[in-house]
Amino acid sequence: MNIAVVTVVAGRHHHLRHHIEALDRSDRPPDDHIVVSMGDPDVAAVVTATGHPAHVEYLDVRPPLPLAAARNAGAAAALARGHDLLIFLDVDCLALPRLVSAYAAGPHDRALLCGPVTYLAPEPASGYPLESLDRLRNPHPARPDPPDGTIETGNDHDLFWSLSFAVSARVWTRIGGFCTDYRGYGAEDTDFGQRARAAGVPVCWVGGADAFHQFHPVSDPPIEHLDDILRNAALFHRRWQRWPMRGWLEAFERRGLVRFDAGADRWTRTTPSR
């Protein structure tokens, strides 16, 4: 089996260096690492400086970042290079050494595979302890966390997340990739989960395929992404006849930033866009 890891990135060079260092500790190294630069010409130099043999794909894009299109570009490169299993790992994520082998042992020929993700505290001055990340393990409580070496089949495709997942080339083609109408922050991964559901592809959670999300400041709700969220939520609603990201939309509403028009079944902004 030929395995490729796909990582999309714009900025976050410090995270990218750690991401590569962790991946280089894999007990079963991937056969290829495809790094997709979203309009960031410095990514290739960052990768080269690590000595890591990644293949860098450059997309000439501008904000809002086309995360869906970038992941599709990474997958297309992996398929063109003859890989059988695609592992998508966000640049913020540090892979445990067993992540690649755990995904490789999962039912990737019939399912969409996800692994547990731990959100890390701010990086200490000494750096994250890559040799002992297991000691920091505290998986997100809203997602399944099966024991190491086991598989849990889920029935809720809304739990799919794009931080860390794996899929065979055949199943990727069956799902059809990400919908590239989404741009910027939010809903493109929820849409992908629904595309998998519509294609009859189950989601399976893989014990031992652990990733650790490096800290970076976030807003809750993410007000800086309000316009992206409204646009992408409306797109998702047109495609699937329901609203995604309701927690964020309702939080914006409580702050007086948006309102829901029940008669028109739509969310609208109440303040001018910046």
Gyration radius from the chain CA atoms:
18
**Do 234 and 151 belong together in one domain?**
no
Scan for tokens 């000439």, then name that residue.
60
Q: Are 45 and 104 found together in one domain?
A: yes
Task: Please report whether residue 98 resides in a domain.
Answer: yes
Q: Can you give the pTM of this predicted structure? A: 0.96
Residue 99 to residues 16, 17, 207, 242, 247, Cα–Cα distance (Å): 17, 18, 9, 34, 31
Same domain, 203 and 251: no
Question: Which pLDDT value is given to residue 270?
Answer: 93
Residues 19 and 149 in one domain: yes
Same domain, 27 and 58: yes
Asked whether the predicted pLDDT for residue 161 surpasses 80, the reply is yes
Looking at the structure, tell me whether residues 183 and 252 fall in a common domain: no
CATH number of the domain that residue 132 is part of = 3.90.550.10
Tens of pLDDT, residue by residue over 79-108, are 999 999 999 999 999 999 999 999 999 999
Does residue 77 lie in a domain region? yes
Prior bond of 53 cis (ω within 30°)? no
Q: Please compute the mean of the pLDDT values over residues 9-20 and round it to a whole number.
A: 97
* Dmax (CA) of the chain: 58
Residue 263: pLDDT band by 50, 70, 90 thresholds?
A: confident
Assess whether pLDDT exceeds 90 at residue 240. Answer: yes
238 and 157 assigned to the same domain:
no
**Higher-scoring residue by pLDDT: 256, 220:** 256
pLDDT in tens, 25-58: 999 999 999 999 999 999 999 999 999 999 999 9
Segments forming the whole domain that contains residue 231? 223-269
Residues 193 and 57 in one domain: yes
Report the alpha-carbon distance of residue 44 to residue 51 in Å, rounded. 11
**Could you give the percent of the chain with pLDDT greater than 90?**
93
Same domain, 72 and 179: yes
pLDDT at 274 over 80: no
Q: Which of 10, 4, 5 is nearest to 60 (CA)?
A: 10
Least confident of 62-71, 78-87, 262-271: 262-271
- Is 90 exceeded by the pLDDT of residue 110? yes
Q: Are both 227 and 209 inside the same structural domain?
A: no
Please indicate, yes or no, if residue 218 is contained in any of the structural domains.
no
Residues 124 and 232 both lie in one domain? no
pLDDT tier for residue 264 given thresholds of 50, 70 and 90: confident
20 assigned to some structural domain: yes
Asked if residue 36 lies in contact with residue 70, where contact means CB atoms within 8 angstroms, the answer is: yes
Q: How many structural domains are present in the chain?
A: 2
Cβ neighbours, 10 Å, residue 92: 22
**What pLDDT does 30 receive?**
97
Residue 203 falls within a domain, yes or no? yes
State residue 227's pLDDT score: 95
